[in-house]
Structure 1
Amino acid sequence: MAATGTGRFFEGLSARFRAGRDVALRAFLSRLSAANGGALRVLDLGGRVDYWARVGFDFLDAHDIHIHCINYTTDELRLNVGQHPRITAEVGDARNLPHLADGSFDLVHSNSVIEHVGRFADMLAFAGETRRLAPAYYLQTPYFWFPIDPHSPRAPFIHWLPNPLRLKIVRRVKVGWARPTRDVAHSMRNIESTMLIDKSMLRALLPDARIRFERLLLLPKSLIAERG
């Protein structure tokens, strides 16, 4: 399998892409804020304070943007609660948020989340809530056909392999952030916790989106879906 140097190289590239992605998100938020003409309410599905720190707290202040995060676990929630006055959070399942009314927010955002919510039926539910809760959305997810899965940067192409073969590899080699374990159930949970998608799948999930690629050396690396 790939050497750890591949992982370090990809991590460095990922950091550069995150910086570029932050610029694009700030531009999108700026346009939306200008069109809205007032405070902007953003629902971040799976969001974290450190992500918005990277986007810029000064930027949030300048554009009067308020972020509400939906976190799946209490451990994730603890990372967000009380960390910044413009960011609130609650525990919830982003596939089903019936306590939030249609159009409760100005924007729904998610960054590398939809690939973790389950199978395609779960993604449909997640996408449905994304479309229901705000007139605008901005979603990013890694692209299946890029040869490196960002969750397994030490093992290019592994996400294209059948699960039984992936299982043999991850039980013996550290391919991502988790250490290898001989426990089959634990390893399979890690494998099945991520399901990358391609453009046709994202189009089916968000049929009213403008979809574009982030590219590395002309290769599509990530998908961005926007509305609004």
Structure 2
Amino acid sequence: MSVRSLRSRLVDAPDSWGARRREARARWLGEAFPDLANMSVIDLGGRLDTWLRAPVRPKHVHVVNLEPMSGDLPEWADLDYGDACGLPAHIARRRYDLVFSNSVLEHVGGHERRLRFAESVHSLADAHWVQTPYRFFPVEPHWLAPGMQFLPTAGRAWLAQRWPLAHSPARDRLDATRSVLWTELLDRTQLRFYFPDSTIRSERFLGMTKSLIACRASNA
């Protein structure tokens, strides 16, 4: 088995372990918000594919992302280019039933921007579901490298340039350094600071916390 096919079997393929974990998380979302099918949802930093394959699709989904996306939009979705840490006025003044974000908070760029991200979440809806990988899970989830998150920046950049299970190997050292500096995993104390009124849920694997979810229902 090649290294690339190993990564695919682990996290990327539709029948991979990672895909099964995402499906389980989607079911958990539906259980946390039983009226999801009737809700308007803003997805900060997400992709439309998440909702195309979701077991329960909200009544309306508004995806906001800094990465350009193309393709035909279904009638139940909107797509906007925008920074979740400083939303354009035409988005910031809207209200939704639920703010959703999956594996984005660790990429926004430091404490100050995480505060702004949390402010966006709190201002857009009373309810939210914000997931982020847990810093102390032994395998760094973006590169699938054991303990990588605990290395100094130079060590992480070196590994990012060479580790065979990376999703997209870095082109050079500058690209590798840029990638690791834009990836900062959070612990439970940090997430609770940004979302003090939320329930902090743990997604577990083999008894260990793999990711954290700040969840708040509108009637909480």
Say yes or no: TM over 0.5: yes
Give yes or no for the alignment of 1:151 onto 2:142. Answer: yes
Give yes or no for the alignment of 1:19 onto 2:23. Answer: yes
Q: CA deviation at 1:172?
A: 3.0
Structure 1 residues 66 and 168, CA, compared in 2 at 3 Å: closer, same or farther?
same
- Check conservation: 1:102, 1:134, Cα contact below 8 A: no
Structure 1 unpaired stretches of 5+ = 34-38
Give yes or no for the alignment of 1:164 onto 2:154. Answer: yes
Quote the residue 2:183 is aligned against. Answer: 194
- Check conservation: 2:82, 2:88, Cα contact below 8 A: no
What is the alpha-carbon distance in structure 1 between the residues aligned to residue 8 and residue 146 of structure 2? 13
Correspondence 1:174-185 to 2 at 5 A: 174-181=164-171, 183-185=172-174
Moved more, 171-180 or 143-152: 171-180
Q: CA deviation at 1:83?
A: 2.4
Structure 1 residues 8 and 157, CA, compared in 2 at 3 Å: closer, same or farther?
farther
- Check conservation: 1:141, 1:223, Cα contact below 8 A: yes
- Of the candidates 133, 141, 147, which is equivalent to residue 142 of structure 1? 133
Amino acid corresponding to residue 142 of structure 1 in structure 2: P
Deviations 1:13-64 (A, max 9, x none): 322211110101122232466xxxxx421111012111001214xx33xxx6
- Of the candidates 200, 203, 214, which is equivalent to residue 211 of structure 1? 200
Q: Normalization by structure 1: what TM-score? A: 0.84
What is the alpha-carbon distance in structure 1 between the residues aligned to residue 82 and residue 5 of structure 2? 38
Report SS of the residue matched to 1:30. Answer: coil
Deviations 1:150-187 (A, max 9, x none): 2011x211111111111222233334111243x22211
Structure 2 unpaired stretches of 5+ = none
Q: Normalization by structure 2: what TM-score? A: 0.87
Report SS of the residue matched to 1:166. Answer: helix
Correspondence 1:29-68 to 2 at 5 A: 29-31=33-35, 39-56=38-55, 59-60=56-57, 65-68=59-62
What is the alpha-carbon distance in structure 2 between the residues aligned to residue 146 and residue 5 of structure 1? 23
Q: CA deviation at 1:4?
A: 6.5
The alignment of Structure 1 onto Structure 2 pairs a total of residues equal to 210
Amino acid corresponding to residue 18 of structure 1 in structure 2: R
Structure 1 residues 102 and 68, CA, compared in 2 at 3 Å: closer, same or farther?
same
Amino acid corresponding to residue 45 of structure 2 in structure 1: G
Q: CA RMSD in A?
A: 2.1
What is the alpha-carbon distance in structure 1 between the residues aligned to residue 49 and residue 92 of structure 2? 27
Moved more, 19-28 or 93-102: 93-102
Structure 1 residues 6 and 162, CA, compared in 2 at 3 Å: closer, same or farther?
farther
Structure 1 residues 152 and 101, CA, compared in 2 at 3 Å: closer, same or farther?
closer
Q: CA deviation at 1:119?
A: 0.8
Give yes or no for the alignment of 1:221 onto 2:210. Answer: yes
Quote the residue 2:106 is aligned against. Answer: 115
Report SS of the residue matched to 1:130. Answer: helix
Quote the residue 1:125 is aligned against. Answer: 116
